[in-house]
Amino acid sequence: MKKTDKHPFSRKLICLALALLLLAGASLTGAQAQSVPDFADEVLRLVNIERANAGLPPLLPHANLSAAALIRAQEVVTLQAHTRPDGRSWNTVLSDFGIAHSFAGENIAFGFHNPAGIVAAWLESPTHRANILRPEFTHLGVGAFNANGNVYWAQLFITAPGNSGTNTIFNTSWPANPANWVSFFMGFGWVWMWFIQPF
């Protein structure tokens, strides 16, 4: 005699609950994402220590520049490049915030969980170090954004108006953490197996 499932609806409800939990993983990491202003302040302090050691004047904080850097740190979650997710160059964030400048540069990264670690890593990279120790730069904005279990970083350097010319400096970044995509596809697989595909 063929055994029948006496509780097919209950089984479906359990599977649906598991699927929703997995699918919620990606959106949950987004809900937990947040800026880390203390980290940004510490990066500025550490950078100025290095500049002092090199005989350079300190970089000054700049409220709008810090806001722009936070936007760039959030964008790095989506795209680890000096191109923004909408296809524009990174330096368009400066015009978005109405930030006047003669020179500008950007450092981005992720995967370093504290200011000392990220500053040390940037200083070990010749191109990133060049931005940090560039004599012409006068102001620094730092963005630190916590998402997907990583901290995403952006530094925006500018020279205050007064010097002629324009200079934008492009540096390197690290690949993204795909954990949220794994949760999404696992959850979709449960939905397909138990609700879309016929029994």
* Per-residue pLDDT tens over the stretch 129-144: 999 999 999 999 999 9
Q: Residue 140 and residue 105: Cα distance in Å, rounded? A: 10
Segment holding 115, helix H or strand E: helix 115-124
State how far the alpha carbon of 179 is from the alpha carbons of 81, 148, 184, in Å: 19, 7, 9
Q: How far apart are CA 18 and CA 23, in angstroms?
A: 9
Q: Answer yes or no: is pLDDT of 30 > 80.
A: no
The amino acid present at 18, given as its one-letter code, is L
Query: Residue 7 burial by CB count (10 A; 0-12/13-18/19+): exposed, middle or buried?
Result: exposed
Identify the band that residue 23 occupies on the pLDDT scale cut at 50, 70 and 90.
Answer: very low
Mean pLDDT calculated for residue range 153-176: 64
Average pLDDT over residues 96-117: 94
Per-residue model confidence (pLDDT) at position 6: 57
User: Between these two residues, 37 and 107, which has the higher pLDDT value?
Assistant: 107
Average predicted confidence (pLDDT) for the chain: 76
| Structure confidence at residue 100 as a pLDDT band (50, 70, 90) | very high
Confidence (pLDDT) at 186: 41
pLDDT in tens, 66-94: 999 999 999 999 988 999 999 999 999 99
Q: What is the pLDDT at residue 17?
A: 45
